[in-house]
A and B are shown apart, each in its own frame.
Chain A
Amino acid sequence: MQTHQYEALIVGGGGAGLMAALYASRGARTAVISKLYPTRSHTGTAQGGIGAALGNLEEDRPEWHAFDTVKGGDYLTDQDAALVLAEGAIEAVIELEHLGLPFDRTPEGRISQRRFGGHTSNFGGKPVRRACHSADRTGHMILQTLYQQCIKNNVTFFDEYHVVDLIRNGDAVVGVVAVNIDSGELHVFHSKAVLFATGGWGRVWEVTSNAHTLTGDGNVITYRRGVPMQDMEFFQFHPTGIYKMGILITEGVRGEGGVLLNDRGERFMEHYAPSIKDLASRDVVSRAIFLELRAGRGIKGQNYVHLDVTPETVNRYLAEAGESRRITGEYIESKLPDILDFCRTYLGVDPVKEPMPIQPTAHYGMGGIPTDLDGRAVIDAQRTPLPGLYAAGECACVSVHGANRLGTNSLTDLIVFGLRSGKHMAQYCQGTDFTPLPSNPAGEIEAELERIRHASGTRKPYELRAEMQKVMMQQVSVFRTAEGMQEAVNTIQRLQDEYRNNLVIDDHGQRFNSDLLEAWELGCLLDIAQVTTASALAREESRGAHSREDFPKRDDEQWMVHTLAYRTADGGVELNHDKPVDLSLAAKDERFKPKERVY
C-alpha cells in the first residue's frame, strides 16, 4: 500500500476545492484528490450567475444581499454567516476577474449583472441586478479559471482517486484513504488537515439536475467517522428542470423576462407571489408548480408546465408592467446559448419560438457537514470545532442557505468560504505537527470494498438505487407528510438491509472498477436518504424547502434550531435539536427579525 504525506489535503476539485487549494497551497504542502478530473466537476454546469452586490448597473449593498439571503433561507440562515457571505462576495468576484475570469461586460466595461429570484434592493423591494454572469456558463468559467490558476501555481493533483474513508487516530484527523481508480489500489494519504469539498447528493432523487457522480461521499465518509450532518431535511427542488430529464433550465431565463404558464396560458405566479411573481424564491415557485399540476392545470393534463421566453410573450408582459425594455431572439441567443442548445438537442424544442416543458427537479442540498465561518467542521450544538477537519462548498453547511438557497448564492459560497477555509488550513498546518497514523489505517475500508466486490446476493446496485430514488421522489420531495415519510423510512431501511446482505456486482477486477465504486456510492446515497428522511420526519413545521402538509405553518417558537444528525453504533440516526440559529443581525437591526415571508 502506498502512503503519501501532505500537510493539507483537499478532497474534491470543484469550485470550493480549487479555491481552497489555491489559498492552502500558499502556506502548506497541499494536494487535491478528486474522483473526476477537476474540470469535470459539477461546478462547471452552473449556469446563471454568481451573486455579489457590485452595483454595476443599479444601486446595491451587501446588507441588502445579506437580508435577501436570510429571508430566502426562511430565517434558518445563520445571520453572521450571511453577512460574511454578502461582504466577502464583492471581493471574491473581483478576485475572480483579476484571475482572468471572462465575465460578460456592461457598456462601461464592468462586470455585467442580471436579476435572479429572491434578490432585491432595499430590504425586500424591487428585483435587483446582482448576478454576475458569463452568458449561461458562469460555473464553467469559474471552474476553468480556478483550475488554470492551480496549474499556474503548480498545485499537486491526484486525479481519478476516489476517497473512501477518513482516517482518525483517537480524536485527531490524520488523513484519508483513496482508491486509485485506474489501478484499483488503495492509497493512504497522511496529513495534518483535510478539507472535504465533494459537492452535492442530488442523485438520491429520481428527477435531478445533478451529475451521476453527485452521491454525497464527503458527508457520508465523515458521518461514518463521528461527524454529524446538519439540516439534511432541507433539499431544494429547482422549479425549472427539463420535463422527465431534470436537466436544469437556469432561473436566468426568468431573470431575462421568461414567465411560467399553465395549461390555460395563465401566468400563475401572479397568484402565488403578486409582487415579484416568477422571480420569487425557488421553494415558493416549485410549490406553486406542484399545486398547479395537482389542480389538473399541467399542460394537456400532463405533469409539466411551460416556461416561455419567446420575445413575443416576454415583450407583452414587459409592456404590461410598464417597462421600456424589449428583447429580441438575437438577445436570447446571446444571453442563454447553452439553454437553447439543451432544448434543441434533448427536446427538439426551440425556446426562441416555443415554450419549454418543465417540472421541478432535485437540485441542491442546503444541509451538510456543519462548519464555522472559517470552514472548520463543528461537531455539536455548542459549535465545538474538530481540529484538522474542514468542509466547503455544497457538502458543507455554514449555514448561509438556511432552509432554502437563493440562486447565485452557491457559487458565492464556494468562493467566499473556499477561500476562508484554505487560508485557515494553511495557518493551522503551520502551527501543528503530524499526528501519527493508526496501525492498519485502510483495514476497515478494504474489508468493506472486498465485501462488495465479492458479494454473492441477488440484487444489483441499480435496482436498489432506482427504488430509493422513486420513494424519495414520491414521499420526500416538494410536499411531505408523516405517513408518506414513514413509508420512505421503511423502504430505505429495507434497501439498506439488502445492500448489506443481498448485493451482487459483476466486476470482480481491480482496474477501473466502476461497478464496485458505483456500488460503494450507492451505500452513501442510502445513508443520505436515511438521514434526510429521519430529519424531515422529526421537523414538525414547514420552512423553506421543507413543506409539511400536516404541519403547514412555520413554527418559530420551537424550530428556530438546526438539526444535527449523528450515526449510532448500530447504523441508526440520532437527532439533536439544541443548536440555535444565529440571529446576530436581528439583535442590532429590526429588519432582520424573523417574520412571515411574502414575495
Chain B
Amino acid sequence: MQVTMRIRRFNPEKDKKPYWGEYTLDNVEPNDRVLELLHRVKWEQDGTLSFRRSCAHGVCGSDGMRINGVNRLACKVLVNALGEGDHVKIQVEPMLGLQVLKDLIVDMEPFFEHYRSVMPYFVNNDPVPADGRERLQSAAARARFDDTTKCILCACCTTSCPSFWADGKYVGPAAIVQAHRFIFDDRDQAADERLKIMREPDGVWRCRTIFNCTSACPRDIEVTRAIGEVKMAIRRGGRGAIQETEGTEEAGGEG
C-alpha cells in the first residue's frame, strides 16, 4: 500500500516556526511499524528528519510521539491500526507540553526533573537479613505494586494530560506512577515522605481524573487507578495493609 506521512518539522537552526512536511512511501506492508516508516523517510528521502528511537519493540521508551492525534510509541503502532486500503494517511507530531528541540524531539529534562522529585528509589535503612539472604516478601505483597513497575518513562502519559499542558509544574502521571511503585512496596520505608510530596500543591491533587494517561500508556498500566490509590493513601494517612487497598474504591474519585 501507499502511505502519506504528514510530519511536523522544525529545525531550530533554520526555521522560525514549525511546518508540516509531506512524504509519500510506496510498498508499505500493513504490519509495518510507524517507526519503520519514519526510518524510510529519513533514510530514503530526507536525512535531516530527527526523532529518538532505540529498541524498536516498545520497551525502551524512546519514541513517544503524537500519531494521528494520540500519544504512542512509533515502534508499537502498526500501519494497519491506522487505516486500511491502498492509501493511508498518517500524521506525526511531537508530544505536547514539552519544548520541541528539533522535529519530533522534545526536551525531556522537565519530565525527568519531576521524576527525580518523588524519591523514585527504594529506601530501607534496616540492616539486611542476618543470614545474608534476600528480604522476604509474599507473592501477594509483590503483586500489590506490579502494575506500576512496568513504567518505561516514555512520557506518553504525562504529555497527554490536560492538567500538565495547563501547568508544567504539575508532577504529572508518570512521576505519580513511580511514587506508587514504592509507596505500595511493603519492603520500602519512605512511603510517608513520598505521600507528603504527593500532597503538595503540584502533586497528586492536580489530577482531574481525565483518564488520558491510562489510554496513552503503551505498557497498559492503569495509571489513573494508581493515581487514585495514591490519593486514597493520602486520605487514609498511609499505604494501609495489603488486602485493604486491593479494592478499587473510587479510583481517582476526587476533584
Q: Which A positions have Cβ atoms within 8 angstroms of B?
A: 36-37, 39-42, 44-45, 94, 97-100, 102-111, 134-135, 137, 140-141, 144-145, 148-149, 151-152, 182, 211-213, 245, 247, 338, 341-342, 345-348, 460-462, 505-507, 509-515
Contacts and interface: CB of A to CB of B under 8 A. Distances in A.
B13 A509 contact: yes
Given A40-B62, A140-B59, A141-B149, A105 B138 contact: yes
B149 A102 contact: yes
A110 B129 CA distance: 12
A362 to B, nearest CB: 14
7 contacts: A44-B152, A100-B121, A345-B76, A460-B47, A461-B43, A506-B47, A511-B13
B11 interface: yes
A45 B121 CA distance: 20
Contacts of A110: 133-134, 136
A40 B134 contact: no
A94 B134 contact: yes
Contacts of B112: 37
B185 A100 contact: yes
Contacts of B124: 98, 100
A100 B101 contact: no
A94 B136 CA distance: 11
A345 B12 CA distance: 35
A197 to B, nearest CB: 16
B138 to A, nearest CB: 5
Contacts of A345: 58, 76, 78
Interface string B181-192: 010010110000
Contacts of A134: 149
A514 to B, nearest CB: 5
Contacts of B60: 36, 39-42, 44-45, 211
B2 to A, nearest CB: 21
A37 B143 CA distance: 28
With a 10 A CB-CB cut-off, give which of B122, B135, B152, B185 has the most chain A CB atoms.
Answer: B122
A108 B136 contact: yes
Interface stretch (B48-56, B205-213, B225-233): B48-56
A97 B135 contact: yes
Interface string B137-150: 11100100110011
Nearest to A462: B43
Contacts of B149: 102, 134, 137, 141, 144
Interface residues of B, number: 60
A232 B225 CA distance: 49
Contacts of A39: 60-61, 152-153
Contacts of B134: 94, 97-98, 103, 110-111
Given A42-B55, A103-B134, A341-B220, 14 more contacts: A39-B153, A41-B60, A44-B55, A98-B135, A108-B136, A109-B137, A144-B149, A149-B122, A212-B56, A247-B56, A507-B47, A511-B13, A513-B50, A515-B48
Interface in B43-81: 43-44, 46-48, 50-51, 53-62, 76, 78
With a 10 A CB-CB cut-off, give which of B11, B31, B55 has the most chain A CB atoms.
Answer: B55
Interface string B145-164: 11001101100000000000
A107 B140 CA distance: 10
A450 B53 CA distance: 24
Contact of B105 (A98, A212, A512): A512
Contacts of A213: 54
A211 B137 contact: no
A100 B188 contact: yes
A145 to B, nearest CB: 7
Contacts of A40: 54-55, 60-62
A548 B79 CA distance: 41
A125 B131 CA distance: 29
A345 B59 CA distance: 13
Nearest to B46: A506
A110 B138 CA distance: 8
B128 A346 contact: no
B122 A99 contact: yes
B89 interface: no
A99 B120 CA distance: 12
Nearest to B29: A244
B31 to A, nearest CB: 7
A505 B50 CA distance: 13
Contact of B57 (A45, A103, A137): A45
A72 B183 CA distance: 42
B101 A511 contact: yes
B137 A105 contact: yes
A415 B46 CA distance: 41
B242 interface: no
B55 A45 contact: yes
B42 interface: yes
Interface string B9-40: 00111100000000000000001010000000
